[in-house]
Amino acid sequence: MATLAKDEIILEMKNLRTYFYTQEGELKAVDGLSYYVRKGESVGLVGESACGKSVSALSILRLIPYPPGIIVGGEIIFQGKDLLKSTEEEMRHIRGNSIAMVFQEPTTSLNPVLTVRRQISETLELHRHMNKEESFQETIRLLKLVGIPDAERRANDYPFQFSGGMQQRIMIAMGLSCNPALLICDEPTTALDVTVQAQLLEIIDDLRAKFGTAVITITHNLGIVARYVDRVNVMYAGRMVETARTEDLYANPLHPYTMGLLASVPRLDVSRKKSLRVIKGLPPNLSRLPPGCAFQPRCDYAMPICEKEYPPLEKVGEEHYRACFAEVSKLQKQQK
């Protein structure tokens, strides 16, 4: 595929650094993260818990609590404009209109004392300037779109009257109510069972195909997103360790961390003789990162240089980059 024109890119994060200043000192939650998303593209942001996925997403919306958090550097270019230089008023407009975020916990975003209908139609009246009748029709349409059965009647219910999976659907409907150019889904399905997770990802993917919404899906489960994302960004300790188109990442992972994540995902195409593995050890404390590669203490391929220097992101294929000193051929041999 030829390199796409610059205007195809809707979001470009460049060298983002978001730190927290806590009692333990400086915590580098996101430390030099760069990635891009094209119009209508679906991108996964994957990594174990506490590697900076949510903080990077909240940085896009400028929702990092200060104190203790500060975006200390970088650029986040959205539709040609640096969000980090936007005014608070411009950000409010962007949050309601161009970028929507669906959070992990529906209870943090759904108002318990308002009916579902009120919550969605208020957004529509405020941001899309609809009158009462229009907003009602649109609310019902959105609820049907995300698969709420008997939407006309159920719209008058309160959030607690829905199951967890249905609450997540309502959140997605709310996210879509502003017709965003970019939808960020932060582990929206984690608390749900696998079938419901798949249904929701399917719904989000249908909506993307229908409306051309770009989607960033955040998850710690590489297995879950495989079918739904065009490209995967793998994060470790606040940085990108590997990025590739989904097929390439699965067929030819070239960072030991990605290999570890893949080995711990149940796969249908691999016989069960090989038992699932977990990556040994734990992610590092981000306020006490070792010098050199943060994954090195857990890595089977670590060499002396890994303790001293941080490996730069190097190109290993079309749209495929990785940050690792281990020889490509050595990693490939291991996977045979």
Ligand X SMILES: Nc1ncnc2c1ncn2[C@@H]1O[C@H](COP(=O)(O)OP(=O)(O)O)[C@@H](O)[C@H]1O
Shortest spacing between CB 283 and ligand X, in angstroms: 9
CA distance 44 to 184: 10
- For residue 71, the partner it binds in ligand X, Mg ion, none, with Cβ less than 5 to 8 A by kind, is none
For the segment 95-154, give every residue that binds ligand X (CB under 6 A): none
Nearest to 46 by CA among 264, 303, 271: 264
- Longest C-alpha distance within the chain, in Å? 68
CA distance 289 to 272: 36
**From candidates 42, 54, 167, 177, binder to ligand X by CB under 6 A:** 54
91 binding ligand X? (CB under 6 A): no
Site stretch for ligand X (CB under 6 A), options 47-55, 190-198, 225-233, 290-298: 47-55
For the segment 58-77, give every residue that binds ligand X (CB under 6 A): 65, 68-69
Nearest to 161 by CA among 85, 93, 106: 106
**From candidates 9, 11, 16, 27, binder to ligand X by CB under 6 A:** 27
Q: CB-wise, 12 or 48, nearer to ligand X? A: 48
Shortest spacing between CB 45 and ligand X, in angstroms: 8
Q: CB-wise, 53 or 320, nearer to Mg ion? A: 53
Q: Which residues contact 264 (CB under 8 A, 6 or more apart)?
A: 276, 277, 278, 279
- For residue 256, the partner it binds in Mg ion, ligand X, none, with Cβ less than 5 to 8 A by kind, is none
Shortest spacing between CB 257 and Mg ion, in angstroms: 17
CA distance 100 to 60: 11
Residue 14 sits at φ, ψ, to 5 deg, of: -125, 115
The structure tokens listed for 27 are 């915590």
Whether the Cβ atoms of residue 286 and residue 238 lie closer than 8 Å to each other: yes
Count of residues engaged in binding ligand X, rule: CB under 6 A: 16
**From candidates 54, 139, 219, 296, binder to Mg ion by CB under 5 A:** 54
Helix or strand holding residue 20 (H, E): strand 9-22
52 binding ligand X? (CB under 6 A): yes
Question: CA 94, 28, 64: angle at the middle one, nearest 5?
Answer: 25
Q: Please tell me whether the peptide bond between 159 and the residue prior to it is cis, using omega within 30 degrees of 0.
A: no
Shortest spacing between CB 101 and Mg ion, in angstroms: 12
Site stretch for Mg ion (CB under 5 A), options 48-56, 120-128, 202-210, 227-235: 48-56
219 binding Mg ion? (CB under 5 A): no
Q: CB-wise, 54 or 168, nearer to Mg ion? A: 54
Q: Which residues contact 235 (CB under 8 A, 6 or more apart)?
A: 33, 45, 46, 47, 51, 52, 53, 56, 241
260 binding ligand X? (CB under 6 A): no
53 binding ligand X? (CB under 6 A): yes
- For residue 67, the partner it binds in Mg ion, ligand X, none, with Cβ less than 5 to 8 A by kind, is none
Shortest spacing between CB 198 and Mg ion, in angstroms: 20
CA distance 168 to 192: 9
Site stretch for ligand X (CB under 6 A), options 6-14, 22-30, 195-203, 263-271: 22-30
Q: In what order do the strands lie in the sheet with 314-317?
A: 99-102, 182-186, 214-219, 42-46, 231-236, 239-245, 320-322, 314-317
Q: CB-wise, 18 or 54, nearer to Mg ion? A: 54
212 binding ligand X? (CB under 6 A): no
Q: CB-wise, 22 or 137, nearer to ligand X? A: 22
Q: Which residues bind ligand X (CB under 6 A)?
A: 20, 22, 27, 29, 47, 49-55, 65, 68-69, 286
